[in-house]
Amino acid sequence: MSARSLGGVLFSICLMFGVSSSSGAAPPRVEFAVASAWSGGFTGKVRIENRGTSAIDGWVLSWIAGPTIADAWNATLTRTGEMSNAADAGWNKRIAPAGSVEFGFSASGQLQESVRSCQLNGATVELTYVGSIAGSQATIPPAPAPTPAPTPAPALQPASATSLRTVVTIDSQWSSGYTATITVSNVGSASVTHWSIIWPDGPAIASLWNGVLTRDGSTVRIADAGWNGSLAPGASVTIGFVGDGTWSNTMSASLGVSAAQASAPAPTPTPTPTPTPTPTAPPAPTPAPPSTPEPPLAPPVGTSVVHYEAPQWPELFFAPYADVTLWPPVDLAHAAAVGSTKFFTAAFVVAGQGTACNGTWGGYSAYTPESLFLADQIDRLRARGGDLMVSFGGASGTELAGACASATETALAYQEIIDAYKLTHIDFDIEGYWVAEVASRERRSQAIKLLQEWAARDGRELVVWYTLPVLPQGLTADGLAVVSSALEWGVDLAGVNVMAMDYGPNSAPPAAATMGEYAIDAAESVHTQLSWLYAELGVDRSAAEVWNMIGLTPMIGQNDVAGEVFTLADAALVRDYAQLRGLGMLSMWSLTRDGPCAEGPSAWASPKCSGISQASGEFACTFGGVCHP
């Protein structure tokens, strides 16, 4: 589970227009920034900060000249001559004192300091520009939107050795490992397909996403994941991995890449921008109104690998995430026996080997219900009155809705896991590339609707949660589209759990608030968004009912983003807030991180310790109740 952030280079000072209010309050600050750029244009974001003493309830930002905007999201844009007007989108109309909102846009050309007479609700603002990206600071980078596969040419031949280039970037390091990005770019004049990275004496890779990993002795081979196998001229694809040990720059020297090449050169397309995972990321295209889903198949008679039935869950619960594929393996039943936590969220079930339409833990073919993976733990846990919720998705691997060909096949793959473990609670952790990918989004919504119809037919309980990236300002446009799609297809969502972590300094300056306060800001924003979504659909939900639909999952201790640290004091603050508001779910990433690092406090995020001074299990005790000595 991971979110992402992008760093920028400030290339101009604030431009003051000399307007101040009678009360002496500072004027609003407006920032135009580049999020990503390419040869013919860029995606940008506009941040509006309220520096006054009262809330802004509804806003219209107006300016003369500036970038030539083709599309905008999180705001309604109109343009007359040189005058542009961006109005709030409804759910983001309120800007609290010291708060901010953001909207995004795509534009041609380059961002230049050309905006004139910028006003918010008729009042002149302080204007700032932020320039081109200096380099990603993300721990796990977002996957790019896949290039549509071209129609294969009649014949294929080996691609020119000079047509593909690879660049390895180390995103973060800690004492026992690191995360890295490999970018494969097609610099030739013809499309290539079915690329492979061949890496003699390659690194020890613990997990990989956006590719299929095999190893022959010391040689590492990474093949495309299917959906990202075709690269048009000028296009690129990004693969990420977690490596064990220490990275050495000499590891890049032997890396090679090969592919098949279409026999006839393809016309050079206009490159498209890679969407960023901030709230201003380009949203997925608006889907067509839901149509009648395909006729469902009757679910097969499920085969269970556990003996105990799931117990009744409390209405409000704490269920920390546990990465069950880590080594050494986590023992959930033991954790429940020695602590106050009885309920857990097990992560993550994804497509087998990245492409197969069957659920496996972490994508590993050996970790399946048929192998009895987790079966003994679940029985021991349920014998103590506890249970787990299985989470599908996560930051790595391919979500089943992306690997399966139809909604029914997707539903059957989900149902196989539900039957095997006799589950009553499931979670869909949707992040990275899969937040914005439209086809899998609609397929997932239809599949979950089928799951709920099957459960109702059989008299079974099936509680469905979504887990999505968030910033203090709320869900991203893509995240909202995921929730909206589910509701439009008729999915009965128990709640939306937000990953209150890895915001980045632009959205959550460390000096402005604590991580606990930012988590509360995120919950408040999501409450507004969900209330607005249900109102738009004509569904009556009270404020208390919407609060009960919200979950909070912070990353305890040191986050992936430097400077973001979620402390035990933050945990107590969030726990008290959750009780006050009646939030349906509290969680944390993750159970295996709830302890001190052997080498002491660390500025790097580790999967096995928090990086701060704490007693073992102290976060779970703070969130979940009584701590045992």
Return the SS3 of 213.
strand
Q: Is residue 184 scored above 80 in pLDDT?
A: yes
Neighbours of 493 (CB within 10 A): 16
Q: Is residue 445 scored above 70 in pLDDT?
A: yes
CA–CA dist 235, 230 (Å, integer): 9
Q: What is the mean pLDDT of residues 314-334?
A: 93
Q: Is residue 266 scored above 80 in pLDDT?
A: no
Residue type at position 197: I
348 contacts: CB under 8 Å, gap ≥ 6 = 323, 361, 362, 391, 392, 393, 394, 396, 397, 429
Our answer to whether residue 431 is catalytic in this structure is: yes
**Among residues 64, 86, 263, which one has the least CA distance to residue 159?**
263
Q: Is residue 313 scored above 70 in pLDDT?
A: yes
Q: Find the helix packing angle between 438-458 and 477-488, rounded to 10°.
A: 40
Spacing of C-alpha 404 from chain mean position? 20
* Mean pLDDT computed over every residue of the chain: 81
232-266 burial by CB neighbour count: b if 16+ within 10 A, else e?
A: bbbbbbbbbbbbeeebeeebbeebebebbbbeeeb
CA–CA dist 503, 506 (Å, integer): 8
Least confident span in 125-139, 336-350, 604-618: 125-139
Structural contact between residues 429 and 347, judged by C-beta atoms closer than 8 angstroms: yes
**Among residues 188, 195, 243, 253, which one has the least CA distance to residue 223?**
195
Q: What is the pLDDT of residues 209-224, one digit of tens each?
A: 667 777 777 788 888 7
CA–CA dist 389, 347 (Å, integer): 9
CA–CA dist 427, 346 (Å, integer): 9
Residue 299's pLDDT band (boundaries 50, 70, 90)? low
In sequence order, the β-bridge partners of residue 34 are: 44
Listing DSSP states for 580-620 in one string gives HHT-SEE--B-GGGSS--TT---SS--SS--SSS--TTHHH
Q: Compute φ and ψ for 185, nearest 5 degrees.
A: -120, 140
Question: Would you give the DSSP letter of residue 530?
Answer: H
Q: Is residue 268 scored above 70 in pLDDT?
A: no
Q: What is the pLDDT of residues 383-419, one digit of tens each?
A: 999 999 999 999 988 999 999 999 999 999 999 999 9
* pTM of this prediction exceeds 0.75: no
Q: Is residue 226 scored above 70 in pLDDT?
A: no
pLDDT at 450: 97
Question: Would you give the DSSP letter of residue 369?
Answer: G
Of residues 49, 126, 431, 437, which has the active-site annotation? 431
Least confident span in 225-239, 313-327, 353-367, 577-591: 225-239
Structural contact between residues 30 and 48, judged by C-beta atoms closer than 8 angstroms: yes
Query: Which secondary-structure segment (H or E) carries 19?
Result: none
Structural contact between residues 17 and 115, judged by C-beta atoms closer than 8 angstroms: no
Q: What is the pLDDT of residues 58-103, one digit of tens each?
A: 999 998 888 888 777 778 888 887 888 899 887 788 898 888 888 8
Q: Compute φ and ψ for 591, nearest 5 degrees.
A: -60, -40
Question: In the block, which residue shows the tokens 């032997």?
Answer: 254
Q: What is the mean pLDDT of residues 163-192?
A: 78
Q: What is the mean pLDDT of residues 608-615?
A: 96
Q: Find the helix packing angle between 568-581 and 515-536, rounded to 10°.
A: 30
Question: Would you give the DSSP letter of residue 555?
Answer: B
What sign results for the dihedral spanned by CA atoms 2, 621, 613, 472?
positive
Percentage of the residues of the chain whose pLDDT score is greater than 70? 78
Q: Find the helix packing angle between 438-458 and 407-421, rounded to 10°.
A: 50
Q: What is the pLDDT of residues 595-611, one digit of tens each?
A: 999 999 999 999 999 99
pLDDT at 24: 57
Residue 186's pLDDT band (boundaries 50, 70, 90)? confident
Query: Which tokens is 176 given?
Result: 């026992």
pLDDT at 147: 36
Query: Which secondary-structure segment (H or E) carries 77?
Result: strand 75-80
CA–CA dist 430, 389 (Å, integer): 15
